[in-house]
Amino acid sequence: MSGREGGKKKPLKQPKKSSKDVDEDDLAFKQKKKEEQKKLDEMKAKAAGKGPLSTGGIKKSGKK
């Protein structure tokens, strides 16, 4: 650290955010994503309530 650098550094100036033009395709896409996320959350909640899925199957014995 140099002796001349002290205090907080100023952040670089960001360009002003222009208002986005949101068209119908974007709105439909966002709505679809929200619905998929809700379905995924519901499926996770259902899966969390149950026990392990792979209880059956091949069980290895200790014999050789």
Buried/exposed 14-24: b ≥16 CB within 10 Å, e otherwise? eeeeeeeeeee
User: What pLDDT score was predicted for residue 19?
Assistant: 64
Quick check: 46 pLDDT over 60? Answer: yes
Cα–chain center distance at 57: 33
User: What pLDDT score was predicted for residue 63?
Assistant: 65
- Please report which residue ranges of 1-64 form alpha helices under DSSP H: 24-49
CA Rg value for the chain: 27
The listed range with the strongest mean pLDDT (4-13, 17-26, 37-46, 50-59) is 37-46
- Counting beta carbons within 10 angstroms of the beta carbon of residue 52, is it exposed (0 to 12), middle (13 to 18) or buried (19 or more)? exposed
